[in-house]
Amino acid sequence: MSGDASALLAQIAHIGVDPERGGYTRPVFSAPELELRAWFIAQADHRGLDVEIDGNGVIWAWWDAPDARRVDAIATGSHLDSVPGGGNLDGPLGIASALAAVDVLRERGIRPVRPLVVAAFPEEEGSRFGIACLGTRLLAGLVDPQRVRELRDDKGVTFAEAARGAGLDPALIGPDAARLAAISAFVELHVEQGRGLEDLGQSVALAGAIIAHGRWHVRIDGRGDHAGATRMADRQDPVVVAAETVRALRAHALVVDDARGTIGRIKVTPGGTNVIAASVDLWMDVRHRDEPAVRRIVEEVTAATERSAAAEGCTVKVTEQSFSPTVAFDNGLRERMHAVLPDAPVLDTGAGHDAGVLAGVIPTGMLFVRNPTGASHTPAEAARPEDVAVGVIALADVLETLITR
């Protein structure tokens, strides 16, 4: 079905279903994500788009202008990887809508005067290797390629090994200034990850800003021992310290207006009911509009964890994995988007996106599609087919103005 993003999403609704967690688990370069990448390439081929895969594993599907020169291009797209137990929309909605928008523009008889390219970026979620928006960070030269090659997933597989498994050459991972220079603007459509549009009773919004956010790995080392034979006074239990990290993050984020602090992943080693743990790893996500507020919360949580560790006879190491400053999307591009979508409200978001990384290097904008549950990173994430259809037309309208002059 041409121009129907919901039908495209239905085609991939069986891929990466996670019976244990519910929803979808599609880590970058895993079997389900590779299946999604193959599906995207097949869809691009089916539309006569020319597919290139760059050294970082970004898939680019080109609708060339008549002169076939790949300069001054307009890019759109999103990602195919998911969080553990996520929905089918965070990422894939932007890919399916981009393909559907190409169909709509062709049905309109549009002849681009500059190329349109649909991109699928790897590891947007950072769910497998820890750094969010890794594909765009690599592309833009914002992360050291060697550090990325050596990143390990929780099974010990390196990014380089996973990339090789996806058919990439790890030697080619790294910045690609020439490719970026060929793109004049990027527009990402994404399911809204809050209730803004539902509360306003509207279908689509333009993005105003993304709040600053970062990730920190907290490692607490203690002394493993026997749960029955070790007196309470003799313990060096890292789980007790981890509890203080969790409590301190909640307390410090609560007192800063509109801050977000989350620990959604904890690993206790060795992880036995009758075993005092030897170590705990926690991954902490902190967000706020003001960058210094994020830094302050992390400092306070670190200090509270260190105090608790000292009392318990444990040690702590806090390492920053990634940090994204507050992003204000390009005003000029937003004005052009507003001219074709005059009723769309402008919403800021607490969620990170590849568009946020690209906004630092090229004019970038985003469209959000209403999510009636307001939930995301859970199987409860939703979008009504009518809103998806409105989103496709909105994206097509925006792309039309950008590729025809």
Would you say 215 is a known binding-site residue? Answer: yes
Pattern of binders to ligand GLV over 342-371, x per CB under 6 A? ---------xx-------------------
Tokens, residue 349? 């978001």
Rounded to an integer, what distance in angstroms lies between the CA atom of residue 104 and that of residue 102?
A: 5
Nearer to ligand GLV, 116 or 297 (CB): 297
- Residue 362's contacts (CB-CB under 8 Å, 6 or more residues apart) are 180, 183, 184, 185, 186
Mask 128-167, x = binds ligand GLV (CB under 6 A)?
----x-----------------------------------
**Do the annotations mark residue 226 as ligand-binding?**
no
Q: Which of residues 37-56 bind ligand GLV (CB under 6 A)?
A: none
Could you tell me the smallest distance in angstroms from the CB atom of residue 326 to ligand GLV? 13
Cα distance between residue 99 and residue 77, in whole Å: 9
Q: How far is CA 247 from CA 244, 282, 304, in A?
A: 5, 13, 9
| Sequence-ordered list of residues with C-beta below 8 angstroms from that of 63, at least 6 positions apart, any chain | 47, 49, 102, 112, 115, 116, 117, 118
Contact criterion met (CB below 8 Å) for 25 and 86: yes
287 is in an annotated binding site: yes
Q: From the CB of residue 113, how many other CB atoms can be counted at a distance below 10 Å?
A: 12
Binding mask 351-380 for Mn ion (x = CB under 5 A): xxx---------------------------
Q: Would you report the helix, strand and coil content of the chain in percent, each value rounded to 5? A: 35, 25, 40
Q: Is 320 within 8 Å of 215 (Cβ atoms)?
A: yes
The whole-angstrom separation of Cα 139 and Cα 52 is 14
Structure tokens at 157: 């597989």
80 binds ligand GLV (CB under 6 A): no
By rule CB under 6 A, what string of x and - marks binding of each residue 289-308 to ligand GLV?
A: --------------------
3-state secondary structure of 350: coil
Closer Cβ to ligand GLV, 148 or 309, answer by number: 148
> CB 125 → ligand GLV: shortest distance, Å?
5
Residues contacting ligand GLV: total by CB under 6 A: 4
Q: How far is the CB of 67 from Mn ion (least distance, A)?
A: 33
Q: Which two tokens stand for residue 264?
A: 């959604």
190 annotated as ligand-binding: yes
Of residues 203 and 371, the one with the C-beta less far from Mn ion: 371
Minimum CB–partner distance for residue 9 and Mn ion (Å): 14
Contacting ligand GLV within 116-135 (CB under 6 A): 125, 132
Binding annotation for allantoate: 215, 274, 287
Binding footprint of ligand GLV on the chain (CB under 6 A): 125, 132, 351-352
